[in-house]
Structure 1
């Protein structure tokens, strides 16, 4: 797609677009990505252009389109924030930088890291929601072209898409994108399951003909008789949507009935309800399958009436009824806030304010909240269906399906939840574990001096309620927990001949992602942590994992057959780090860490770059690394440091003293390690020692490479 082609797509909905600026961004991006190629062999810049084209379908503003064109320049080219800001302004530079930071979040990692990155993701979204719109379009195009990736990479990206990006698109109201992302991920994760759904669809079409066309004609005829002008759009549901229904209902394809969906787009809100009446008069409504999101809109602005009726041959047919403006929000979700029509920001009364929307997601999460609590709350917010209940004053409270009066109380205010002693639902006293239903009126009964009970954790559903209950329970008898925790810590560390100091506790807190050493003691005393977990956070067992070690000659994946490699002496990359190779004629490949400062020397020689990664598995402790250590100049200190290094399974190969002072001295310790985790663990153990003033990983950027014969590990 050329720059002119893209400009025409924008001009179709925004005739006043700044075509010159878009063309300049196109040419700048093309220049920056020159010489870069995708896994498919296509020029890399085709990807940003396609991302921009996807965003034009949402009729987004010029800044978002330009951000799409430039979204990989700061990360993958020699361009930086200052250059982008100078050429295209601070707004676009901030957006591009925001997308870059989102790209660097490894959202599919372990649970605690995932929670931390969810928090960062929501912080980035809160600054400007257009950042996530570009990222979603980026992920959509990557999923459309996923076949060119390595098989293991396809699986990782598909799982990340299914777990995070598809639900996020749905939560933002971009249902079409959610469905496509889910289906593309489903195709990778379960190709046989998807193929079986497609085969059954074809068989069904042969047996029953074009059901969608027949039902559409029936609806148009019914609406015409009622004097209602409306467009009727029918479609078969996506394969993943059908597969999910089969799993949830534990039934085969042949027993599923509501596999077709229809949308009726009317001229006015009044016509929506007239349409509902006409359809219910003509076809029998299915009990329990009616939802009115016009009178009770979703938080992302979605409005529509949902009903399910028995159509031809007794098959269930799902019908959504909405006006054109409602339909625009249903298609674009929160993105409708930026949509343009005829060169002006589209006036749509149903488009939600992105700032208010994101604040609703984040306001309930306190800054010091546990990462696991935060992740639980976010997932509940993104994945759950809603029930709408009323306060005695008629205010609407939105909760996940299955919520209880306790969730309702905390949704009103933490103070109300904490003091809750009972509840009335529709003026009847009910137990606190009662599951609330749509339309019920809930009154919370409170009492002074009441505090949450531990059993409430099993009753509550929402992340906000669970987090508040946990905080309250931890606060109760905190002093006793801290006192008990200190005794348990003294005993646990005594078993490994270590003392419990404030520095040791602070180190454990950082490793466990807790706020302070006192919090470690409190959780230890309340049995939320074990003494072994706290000890391992500072002095983990580092005996090499059982099983066959990775051969050092085959430790790097991505080399040509027979090609030799050496670790760059400037950065000394370790297994577990992101790496890249630079080829040298007659000497093989030199492996650098991706963030090595010397990589700038090879920016204009992309043909020498080799995409590499470390072999997964247990590596032997033969990879040298250097620690820059400042310690107390007291008798026995250096000996204790050397003993501690040996206890962690590392070997000291050399010592070099840099600076001696009467009270401290600085030295370089050359150690042989297994991998990056081994390095971090060793540094954490040393940092916990009270005689250690500072510790850093030393990298010598003045060393040139290569300087030795390449044998594999050097």
Structure 2
């Protein structure tokens, strides 16, 4: 790589102002970009908010980046420096500090050139080097797939963003410029990058309140994925603009006149909905373009919050409001800091008119989100509040990153869900949750321990199932119990990434604990089969086993055995290899189970064994011990072909728990027969978990399929005996599946 002819200037933290101001560029130092280049001059002129010393540092970064990328060109044929310069230009528009501008100019040098992080730190300071490192991909690490690489890059970017918000702002500016210059990229790659932007980067921009960037990313991605649809829709919007010009002007004039009449000083202007939002509305609601009436909206910007509500009253006096279409985001701001009053009115000729009312400060935040913290010094209070909200969200990302990259990637995508519901705790605290969130999501949003221990919920003082979706304005009380644990079924309906991550973490931890306990029992059983008591084995033999297995502790060895990743028989023989001779095998012990051990020991769904059934166990890799009945049809083939995978198990004498079992009951079609059968099951001390039925063509008989809970095989026999006493019961039997569920 060609090195810069410019002598390194010291970082700003150590450079004196006088030394920085004396810094000059030698003649011919720029290769692709000349100092008199218009793009360069416009960029330098826009740095007027920085100090002279900082401008010198930025010029040095331009020169360094230009030299580093000297022999590179973009796919369009332009010199590569045009890209970093455009990204830095966007950062300058947000009036960010000199370190951020330098990092934007240098954001690709670690990834695409031979420059190291140490060189950047020496020349521009550790702050700039850390920002650039956070922006660089992990190209030097090999991944199994593009998805895994994408997930890991995404994780790195978000964790860097959690440490320094400037990372993601520069990344968004980088993605924005890349999208605008996609014409030379292969169509398939173009669509892939655009989809990734719609799925990830646009929602991040929205979550950070960067509304303008959010709309631009959506529209540009839409045009790259569906160029023809975007073109047709664009022409339709342009035509509608002409057709509705008179109507729009009439509405604008009416609003302005009303504001003047009531003495409110306001800026009133119309806004056109983005192509992507119009397209999304057409697709989701199956509308044609002519049916989308609200492609235009209006914005009223006033001086302060009380005036917002006065303006709302004036507008409702001017045009009739649509019931249920008013939203107060001033009293309850969105999670990204957005504040406005939203109302929909019935305008002239019955046209729905959307109006947003906000203050000047709210308008700044609505357009630029967290970037308004740098942009508008007069928005200091609002900016500080938004910084706190953003910091909390970023901290929640750090809490979610305990799993693998792909899991983290999915959790964050869930967390970027744009629509929200606002609910209240019993003490009146407002909580914002994603659309479709449940009490479990709210419990984990309050605290991890509350989520882990929740057993029920009350919504508006009524007990409801935990899978109930929350609605705006609900008062939600979480009921907890000290010894409760998360249920794996929660994963099927929770909506927040935080809840999903915490549930998985708990289950993974519990699974490993249970698997370790099972693995220890299996190894001890195998040692006893070989005639050795575990306490008799010297500690050196255990240490050799740990070392040979590649684990860090004996507990990890037990966990691997419990999960089926390692055979207990092999581990036992390896433990005894150092002894003079392996003892003569004794009669093999049988593993005693209760059936309620947890995730590590599972009762097969195909045959649903219950206490009293003759049983046999199989170690399944990654699942632990799976218990079947001896006569289960699913395992016949496996038992004969792979006998070494099966171990003898038996029930503990009095497990004292309930087990699920399926029974089929054939009955004559008679009035009240279902009630009679259900009553007999309940009288036998059994719970009905599920019931379904199917009739025969002649409608003489009905087959009832029950899933019931029993304590043992004896208990099941008692239930079936009571059912046979019902005159209308023709046939009864225990259901067996040929295929494992």
Taking the aligned partners of 1:464 and 1:128, their CA distance within structure 2 comes to 21
Taking the aligned partners of 2:489 and 2:275, their CA distance within structure 1 comes to 41
**Structure 1 residue 241 corresponds to structure 2 residue 277:** yes
Alpha-carbon spacing, 1:307–1:480, altered in 2? closer, same or farther (3 Å): same
Alignment check: 8 A CA contact 1:404 1:436 kept:
yes
1:10 matched residue in structure 2: 47
Q: Where does the alignment leave 5 or more consecutive residues of structure 2 unmatched?
A: 1-37, 524-544, 552-557, 566-598, 606-617, 625-741
In the TM superposition, what is the alpha-carbon distance from 1:309 to its structure 2 partner?
A: 2.1
In the TM superposition, what is the alpha-carbon distance from 1:149 to its structure 2 partner?
A: 1.6
Q: TM-score, normalised by structure 2?
A: 0.63
Matches within 5 A, 1:498-513: none
2:590 matched residue in structure 1: none
Alignment check: 8 A CA contact 1:505 1:517 kept:
no
Taking the aligned partners of 1:81 and 1:474, their CA distance within structure 2 comes to 37
**Structure 1 residue 449 corresponds to structure 2 residue 495:** no
Alpha-carbon spacing, 1:102–1:158, altered in 2? closer, same or farther (3 Å): farther
Partner of residue 338 from structure 1, selected from 371, 374, 383: 374
In the TM superposition, what is the alpha-carbon distance from 1:274 to its structure 2 partner?
A: 1.4
In the TM superposition, what is the alpha-carbon distance from 1:150 to its structure 2 partner?
A: 2.3
2:169 matched residue in structure 1: 133
Partner of residue 433 from structure 2, selected from 375, 381, 399: 399
Tell me which moved more, 50-59 or 283-292.
283-292
Alpha-carbon spacing, 1:485–1:227, altered in 2? closer, same or farther (3 Å): farther
Partner of residue 347 from structure 1, selected from 366, 380, 385: 380
In the TM superposition, what is the alpha-carbon distance from 1:315 to its structure 2 partner?
A: 2.4
1:271 matched residue in structure 2: 307
- Where 1:298 maps in the other structure, the secondary structure is coil
Matches within 5 A, 1:90-489: 90-101=126-137, 114-209=150-245, 211-339=247-375, 347-352=380-385, 354=387, 357-363=390-396, 365-369=399-403, 371=405, 373-473=407-507, 481=515
Q: Where does the alignment leave 5 or more consecutive residues of structure 1 unmatched?
A: 490-500, 508-514, 536-714
In the TM superposition, what is the alpha-carbon distance from 1:111 to its structure 2 partner?
A: 5.1
Taking the aligned partners of 1:96 and 1:117, their CA distance within structure 2 comes to 14
Taking the aligned partners of 2:428 and 2:415, their CA distance within structure 1 comes to 23
Q: Looking at CA atoms only, which structure, 1 or 2, has the larger radius of gyration?
A: 2
- Where 2:94 maps in the other structure, the secondary structure is coil
- Where 1:308 maps in the other structure, the secondary structure is strand
Provide the alpha-carbon RMSD of the alignment.
Answer: 3.8
In the TM superposition, what is the alpha-carbon distance from 1:482 to its structure 2 partner?
A: 5.4
- Where 2:204 maps in the other structure, the secondary structure is helix
2:658 matched residue in structure 1: none
Taking the aligned partners of 1:311 and 1:292, their CA distance within structure 2 comes to 21
CA offsets per residue over residues 687-712 of structure 1, 9 Å max, x none?
A: xxxxxxxxxxxxxxxxxxxxxxxxxx
Alpha-carbon spacing, 1:524–1:121, altered in 2? closer, same or farther (3 Å): farther
Tell me which moved more, 145-154 or 167-176.
145-154
CA offsets per residue over residues 350-403 of structure 1, 9 Å max, x none?
A: 444647624424436355335554333311211231111111122222211111
Taking the aligned partners of 1:274 and 1:231, their CA distance within structure 2 comes to 14
Taking the aligned partners of 2:316 and 2:60, their CA distance within structure 1 comes to 55
Alpha-carbon spacing, 1:275–1:422, altered in 2? closer, same or farther (3 Å): same
CA offsets per residue over residues 67-97 of structure 1, 9 Å max, x none?
A: 2222222332343323322332222222222
CA offsets per residue over residues 20-52 of structure 1, 9 Å max, x none?
A: 222222223223322321111111111111111
In the TM superposition, what is the alpha-carbon distance from 1:243 to its structure 2 partner?
A: 0.8
Taking the aligned partners of 1:39 and 1:171, their CA distance within structure 2 comes to 32
CA offsets per residue over residues 484-503 of structure 1, 9 Å max, x none?
A: 789999xxxxxxxxxxx978
In the TM superposition, what is the alpha-carbon distance from 1:426 to its structure 2 partner?
A: 2.3
Taking the aligned partners of 2:514 and 2:168, their CA distance within structure 1 comes to 45
Matches within 5 A, 1:16-55: 18-55=54-91
Alignment check: 8 A CA contact 2:135 2:157 kept:
no
- Where 1:363 maps in the other structure, the secondary structure is helix
In the TM superposition, what is the alpha-carbon distance from 1:533 to its structure 2 partner?
A: 8.0
* Number of equivalences: 516
2:538 matched residue in structure 1: none
Alpha-carbon spacing, 1:27–1:318, altered in 2? closer, same or farther (3 Å): same
In the TM superposition, what is the alpha-carbon distance from 1:432 to its structure 2 partner?
A: 2.6
In the TM superposition, what is the alpha-carbon distance from 1:469 to its structure 2 partner?
A: 3.4
Taking the aligned partners of 1:278 and 1:243, their CA distance within structure 2 comes to 32
Alpha-carbon spacing, 1:476–1:262, altered in 2? closer, same or farther (3 Å): same
